[in-house]
A and B are shown apart, each in its own frame.
Chain A
Amino acid sequence: MLKLYRFLKQYSLYIAVIIVFLFAQVLSDLYLPTLMADIVDKGLANQDINYILKIGGFMLLIAAGGTLCAIMATYLSSKTAVGFGKILREKIFAKVESFSLHEFDKFGTATLITRTTNDVTQIQQVSVLILSMMITAPLTCIGGVIMALQQDRSLAWVLVVTIPILFLVIGMTLKRGLPLFKVMQEKIDKLNLVLREKLTGIRVVRAFNRIEKERVRFDDANADLMDNAVKVNIIMAVLMPAMMLIMNLTTVALVWFGALRIEDGSMQIGSLLAFIQYATQILFSLLMLVMLFIMVPRAQVSAVRINEVLEANLDIIDPEKSNTANNEGGFVEFKEVSFRYPGADQPALNKITFSAKPGELTAIIGGTGSGKSTLVNLITRFYDVENGSVLVDGVDVREMSQKALRAKIGFVPQKTVLFSGTIAENIKYGKENATMEELEQAARVAQATEFVSGLEAGFDHHIAQGGTNVSGGQKQRLSIARALIRKPEIYIFDDSFSALDFKTSAKLRAALKPEVLDATVFIIAQSVSTVRDADRIIVLDDGQISGMGTHKELLNTCKVYREIVASQLSEEELA
């Protein structure tokens, strides 16, 4: 958590002022009992009503001044804490945006979202507390002790006894309670898991008649959670009554020993009253401090998670002096490329060598996990090769700037992603300053015109977040249009026709052909019918090229390809 506070630098002046204000506020709070003691010891003893009124007015002034300080401090600390949250979010987001897919996958989307949003909010909340109570509590404690000592020194030993007892009680409770708190979250997660599974599998649960079994499973998790919650609350039940008891007994002890001191004549009655109030303030501030120390570990978890993101090493960075590729128009070459996902035993790609010229269609086919998507992700430099090199237009992709490289590429991913916004905005994502004609042309080729014009708002139709208001096939067509509008040198279609029915898919591919005439095209496909006319089919098997050539060649030379074909086409089609 402390590590994160380095981002507070620009707020150091604010923080200094906050501390001053809070100190003034604490002083005003602490000064009041002393003034009250004056009223009792001087005003009352001398029956001096004027004095009482004067001190009273003074007290009001002090109280008002303290409040003013508190408000100013609150203003500044709100700005600081919320500003701190802003800075954190900014840094995290910028960092995540610079992540390569490898770093991104290492974390996972869900947790990155949580880290950027919830975790920061958590830290921000705690920072607000730190900037108020965490500062006032120790100040009050120290100030209280000083003021109390000024009233009377020898009564202080009562505090010397009670404060350790207070800490002991808190310590013991927390020692037993905190582990249970940790388990608590696990039990809640477990309950959620069971419930989520029941919901996603509801048809199966009912089809297999396992309602009863699932009920028991839920009940177990539920009872487990209840048991733990009861345990936690029973332990915590000790805390508040014990605190109050200690505080009250301290007061009683002060009265008794104070009486003895007054009897000695070494203390005045007003001082005793003030002392009692100081003692209460001291104990309260300690209690506050303890509560904060309970909250901080929770924020600590968030801080650690945020730091992990901020400190993640980027493994794909632009070269200091980037090389611009000459104008060969999308020549892609793999030289002995091997790649392995971090931590994997087996390379995902092994010694891949091939080249693809502009105007050529290269199809990649193979089973799941054979490395098809990995291969194209190396062209976009989403990952860096382990050995060998990927060249685009004769330049190693690691020597180009990522921006320049990706500007050459139109990428259509396997999992279609659209952003919230209009259809036009989504397609123009590929080329910001595209004209209306270009937009319409891209849509036409992607076979999207028909359904877009069927929508009331046409291209201005608003796509909901995650593209939930268009069908899978429509999404895919828009995603293709987005790539087309760029008119890139290299096209990558990663299984991009899967959600289209055969007719549309065939029409789309027919319309595509003249569009991509001069480009280097890569198509990853599952079905033989999609790839059979490619200039080059690369058959991947377990990360290795097990065959490369045209459909006809491969039928004769590649066993894996024949197997794939056999599983998809009926005999008469094979013939």
Chain B
Amino acid sequence: MSEERKVDKPQQGVFGGRSGGPAGSLGKPVEKAKDFKGTLFRLLSYLKPQRTRFITVFIFAILGTIFSIVGPKIMSKAITKIAEGFGAKMMALKMHQPIPSMDFTYIGQIVLILLGLYLISAVFSYLQQYIMAGVAQKTVYNMRKEVDEKLARLPLKFFDARTHGEILSRVTNDFDNISTTLQQSLTQLITSIVTILGVVVMMLSISPLLTLIVILTLPLYVAVTMNIAKHSQKNFAAQQKSLGQLNGHVEEMYTGHRIVKAYGREDESITTFNAINEQLYTAGYKAQFISGIIMPLMRFVGNLGYVIVCVVGGIFATRGAITIGDILAFIQYSRQFTMPIVQTANIANIIQSTVASAERVFELLDESEELPDSADAKVIAFPKGEVRFENVDFSYKEEEPLIKNMNIDVKQGHTIAIVGPTGAGKTTLVNLLMRFYEIGAGKITIDGVDIRDIKRGSLRSMFGMVLQDTWLFNGTIMENIAYGREGATEEEVIQATRAAHAHHFIKTLPDGYNTILNEEASNISQGQKQLLTIARAILADPSILILDEATSSVDSRTEVYIQKAMTELMNGRTSFVIAHRLSTIRDAELILVMNKGSIIEMGNHNDLLAQNGFYADLYNSQFAGANLENDVV
């Protein structure tokens, strides 16, 4: 449940990517990467193939920013001209002289220049974002593809040790993060820095002293941010904790709704919820408040600079040390100063969390892979299905050996029954036979060839699996069965479903073979799913079978079909059967008794009964036991 929900997050914002205003992520605790520098460079190396475009983006970003920064400075000339004209007019009025006209040609020229500048600036920033769209998305696409291809090469050990949610979250959430950063934050960072630098340069060119005053407000920005960040971390952590508790409680109560109702515990559940909710509220509004005042405080610092510029500028102007146009330009510049500073602080956080995301992705990419097939790997064209284990050792964890020195010899067409209590680790055998896991010592051969010398693809195509966790994908029934063999025709599929006794039920579905199985394939019953997987295995026509006889939660008539289909499927093939039916076990050439992951007894039915060990005990309780229970409920 929780793993699904991680993915189920709302889509990214339209502007700025992250919701919560321009200072959205300020003050929130940031996830840090373990190796920031290394990961950052590695992430950047993904941009290499697009180097030219990437550099173009940067140049365009810089140009676009510069052109827009120059604007106010040039405009100040026009304003000054107007002011001069205005002053001259006043003078003329006082002196009762003919009123001189303003220099409209000059002002006009400047206006035209400005028009041009702004237009060019806009074009550059548009082009920059346009190109970046391609660069960023293509890069993320490539990374995602690389991860997917990596997943295909990873051993099953990797998947068994992790939840699906964990892996999914890397491919979705982490990539989401990376993609937004590449698309927006990176160029924003560039433009912000260029803006800050450009603004400082322009301000210096107007008045070094005023610039100094404005720059003196900088430490204030830093102080405000740092202080708030420090305070807010605590509150955000508390909020996060309460939120986690709340989510946990909700998840538990909802998944256990039936029990809560059955035991009449709704009120207690609500009381607990309200208590957590109250905590969340207290921590939440504090966190919200503290991060919320960043913007007003920033604006105040900005206004402080603005007022000082007005006053000092005004005083300078009275002494003729500065023109009115310059003051306006200066005001505009000092206003442009605030945003990029806030943004840079913000982006610094974003980049940190992006690098942390990237690190997680790279960790996955660095996982050790399955041993590749050797160059002279063999293909067995017409396998007979003779399986031998010779002195095989195996363990999942080194310190806990599961299988020691196992020797079995299976002839073509034999049935090997695997029995044992639930959770005895029967999948281990599947893992070894299909070489999902590598054995520690000894060798497994098929038709006399070590399976490590067989191409993985060829090895696995010798096997057919009908396991309890039937895997079907979101697609039509036809597609799902045809999965068994590449290029199977429709007739072949139908033939297979007939043999699996599945044809009839498929025909009764409204869309027949074109019925689309939904995500959990919950639109057909468990038993029907099992029939489909049998059909899939029949279509694949393997020489060795791995079957799970368990048919729990299948109604008895479907069960009869399933068993018929399985029996037909096993005919003439070497079969490893996770056995539940007495007849299968008794008729098996070899019985492997498993408990807690290891094989503890081995032999045929009579041998094992004679041993009077675990199997005999199991047999007596499970099968003969049916007669014993007259004295129980």
A40-B327, A125-B19, A420-B252 known; A74 vs B148 contact (CB < 8 Å)? no
Across the interface, do B304 and A215 meet the contact criterion of CB distance under 8 Å? no
Interface presence of A146 (CB below 8 A): no
Give Cα A162–Cα B89 distance, bound, in whole angstroms: 31
- Complex Cα distance A124/B239, Å? 14
Interface hub of A233, A272, A409, A473 (most chain B Cβ within 10 A) = A233
Residue in A63, A125, A210 whose beta carbon sits within 8 Å of that of B304 in the complex: A63
Which of these, B144, B265, B281, B632, contacts A82 with CB under 8 Å?
B281
Q: A70 vs B123: C-alpha distance in the bound complex, in angstroms?
A: 37
Q: Separation in Å of the B28 CB from the closest CB of chain A?
A: 13
Whether the Cβ atoms of B422 and A501 lie closer than 8 Å is: yes
Contacts of B151 in A (CB 8 A): 198-199
Give the chain A neighbours of B78 by CB distance below 8 A.
255, 259
Tell me which residues across on chain A come within 8 A of B510, comparing CB atoms. Answer: none
Question: In the assembled complex, which residues on chain B have CB atoms less than 8 Å from the CB atom of A219?
Answer: 145, 148
Q: Are A529 and B626 in contact (CB under 8 A)?
A: yes
Interface string of B509-546 (1 = CB under 8 A from A): 00000000001000001110000000010001000000
A298 lies within 8 A of B101 (CB): no
CA distance A495 to B434 in the complex (A): 35
Contact among A75, A184, A240, A498 for B289, CB-based, below 8 A: A75
The residue on A at minimum CB distance from B283 is A82
Q: Is the beta-carbon distance between A210 and B483 smaller than 8 angstroms?
A: yes
Q: A556 on the interface (CB 8 Å rule)?
A: no
Contacts of B144 in A (CB 8 A): 222
A334 close to chain B: CB less than 8 A: no
Smallest CB–CB gap between B618 and chain A, Å? Answer: 8
Interface string of B286-312 (1 = CB under 8 A from A): 101100110111011001101110110
Contact A403 B436 (CB under 8 A): no
User: Interface stretch among B167-175, B202-210, B344-352, B400-408?
Assistant: B167-175
Residues of B near A413 (CB, < 8 A) are 258-259, 262
Q: Is there an interface contact between A465 and B248, defined as CB atoms closer than 8 Å?
A: yes
Candidate in B82, B297, B467, B484 with the most chain A CB atoms within 10 angstroms:
B82
Residues of B within 8 A of A218 (CB): 145, 148
CA of A13 to CA of B272 in the docked complex: distance in angstroms? 29
* A149 proximal to B (CB < 8 A): no
Most buried by A among B68, B307, B559: B307
Stretch of A109-117, A436-444, A450-458 on the interface side: A109-117
Q: Give chain A nearest CB distance to B399 CB in angstroms.
A: 20
- Name which residue of chain A comes closest to B1, CB basis: A110
Of B1, B278, B281, B318, which is within 8 A of A47 by CB? Answer: B318
Find the B residue at minimum CB distance from A403.
B264
- Chain A residues lying within 8 Å of B149, measured Cβ to Cβ, are 215
- Asked if B324 is at the interface (CB within 8 A of a chain A CB), the reply is yes
A368 at the interface (CB under 8 A from B): yes
Contact pattern, B 92-120, Cβ under 8 Å of A = 1, otherwise 0: 00000000011010011001001100110
Q: Do A200 and B164 form a contact, CB below 8 Å, given A240-B125, A258-B82, A369-B555?
A: yes
Known: A97-B270, A201-B471, A229-B179. A129 touches B422 (CB 8 A): no
Which residues of B lie under 8 Å from residue A367 when comparing CB positions? 555-558
Query: A110 with B5: in contact, given A241-B125, A252-B75 (CB under 8 Å)?
Result: yes
Across-interface contacts of A252 in B (CB, < 8 A): 75, 111, 114-115, 118
Cβ–Cβ contact B168 & A196, under 8 A: yes
Contacting B at CB under 8 A, from A385-433, are: 402-403, 406-407, 409, 411, 413, 417, 419-420, 429-430
Of B129, B258, B621, the contact of A240 (CB 8 Å cutoff) = B129
Q: Answer whether residue B53 sits at the interface, using C-beta atoms and an 8 A cutoff.
A: no
Which of A109, A129, A255 contacts B75, CB < 8 Å? A255
B9 → A minimal CB distance (Å): 7
- Say yes or no: A298 contacts B519, CB within 8 Å: no
Cβ of B398 to closest chain A Cβ, rounded Å? 23
> Within 8 Å of chain A (Cβ to Cβ): is B505?
no
CA distance A193 to B297 in the complex (A): 45
Tell whether, in the assembled complex, residue B133 and residue A237 are in contact, meaning their CB atoms are under 8 Å apart.
yes
Contact A125 B20 (CB under 8 A): yes
Mark the stretch among B10-18, B41-49, B379-387, B608-616 that contacts chain A.
B10-18
Nearest chain B CB to A272's CB is how many angstroms away? 7
- Minimum C-beta distance from B22 to chain A (A): 10
Is A197 touching B474 in the complex (CB atoms < 8 A)?
yes
Chain A minimum-CB-distance residue to B260:
A97
**What residues of chain A lie closer than 8 Å to B122, measured between beta carbons?**
241-242, 244-245
Tell which of A369, A406, A473 touches B422, judged by Cβ atoms closer than 8 Å. A473
Chain A residues contacting B328 (CB-CB under 8 Å) are: 273, 276
Decide: B13 and A122 in contact? CB cutoff 8 A: no
CA of A413 to CA of B259 in the docked complex: distance in angstroms? 8
Q: Report yes or no: A234 in contact with B130, Cβ–Cβ below 8 A.
A: yes
In the assembled complex, A195 has its CB within 8 A of some CB on chain B: yes
Contact between B263 and A406 (Cβ–Cβ < 8 Å)? yes
Which of B11, B13, B526 contacts A185 (CB under 8 A)?
A: B11
Does B288 contact A82, Cβ atoms closer than 8 Å? yes
State the CA gap A533–B288 with chains docked (Å). 64
In the bound complex, CA of A221 to CA of B471 (Å) = 20
Across-interface contacts of B148 in A (CB, < 8 A): 195, 215, 218-219, 222
A44 touches B15 (CB 8 A): no
The smallest beta-carbon distance between A343 and chain B, in angstroms, is 14
- Say whether, besides A245-B118, A258-B82, A512-B633, A44 and B317 are in contact (CB < 8 Å): yes
Once the chains are docked, how many angstroms separate the CA of A96 from the CA of B483? 42
Please tell me if the beta carbons of B318 and A70 are within 8 angstroms of each other in the complex. no
Binds B, one of A1-9, A262-270, A319-327, A346-354: A262-270
Complex contact A273–B79 (CB within 8 A): yes
Interface size on A, residues (CB 8 A): 179
Q: Give Cα distance in the complex from A368 to B555, angstroms.
A: 5
Q: Tell me if B38 is interfacial: C-beta within 8 Å of chain A.
A: no
- B324 A208 Cβ-Cβ under 8 A: no
**B33: A residues at CB distance < 8 A:** none
Measured in the bound complex, the distance between the Cα atoms of B552 and A526 in whole Å is 8
Closest chain B residue, CB of each to CB of A59: B307
Which residues between 191 and 247 of chain B lie within 8 Å of chain A, taking CB atoms?
243, 246-247
One of B14, B270, B536 near A236 (C-beta < 8 A) = B14
Cβ contact within 8 Å between A82 and B86? no
Q: Please, which residues of chain B bring their CB within 8 A of the CB of A557?
A: none
Decide yes or no whether A466 CB sits under 8 A from chain B.
yes
Q: How far is the CA of A112 from the CA of B269 in the complex (A)?
A: 16
Is the CB–CB distance between A298 and B10 below 8 Å? yes
Roughly how many angstroms separate A213 CA and B488 CA in the complex, as a whole number? 14
Nearest CB of chain B from residue A297's CB, rounded to whole Å: 10
Q: Judge whether B553 and A533 touch: CB under 8 Å.
A: no
B354 within 8 A of A: no
Contact of A191 among B172, B474, B525 (CB under 8 A): B172
**For residue B314, which residues in chain A have a CB less than 8 angstroms away from its CB?**
39-40, 43-44, 52, 56
Among candidates B85, B108, B263, B277, residue contacting A430 with C-beta atoms closer than 8 Å: B263
The reply to whether the CB of B121 lies closer than 8 angstroms to some CB of chain A is yes
Q: Which residue of A lies closest to B581 (CB)?
A: A570
| Residues from chain A with Cβ under 8 Å of B293 in the complex | 70-71, 74
Q: Is B373 an interface residue, CB under 8 A from the partner?
A: no
Contact between chains at B622 and A501 (CB < 8 Å): yes
- B contact residues around A71 at 8 Å (CB): 293, 296-297
For A259, give its contact among B102, B327, B474 (CB under 8 Å).
B102
* A86, CB-defined interface residue at 8 Å: yes
Q: Are B68 and A40 touching (Cβ within 8 A)? A: no
A509 and B299 CA atoms in complex are apart in Å by 74
User: Do A52 and B318 touch (CB < 8 A)?
Assistant: yes
B318 contacts A67, CB within 8 Å?
Answer: no
Within 8 Å of chain B (Cβ to Cβ): is A167? no
What are 14 A-B contacts with C-beta separation under 8 Å? A66-B303, A74-B289, A74-B296, A93-B253, A101-B261, A113-B247, A117-B243, A117-B246, A132-B292, A192-B168, A209-B461, A273-B327, A369-B555, A465-B248
The 10 closest A-B pairs by CB, nearest first: A367-B555, A56-B311, A237-B129, A233-B133, A201-B471, A70-B296, A63-B303, A67-B300, A82-B285, A245-B122
Q: A181-B11, A241-B64 are known contacts; what are 5 more A-B pairs with Cβ within 8 Å?
A: A44-B318, A71-B297, A78-B285, A207-B463, A563-B557
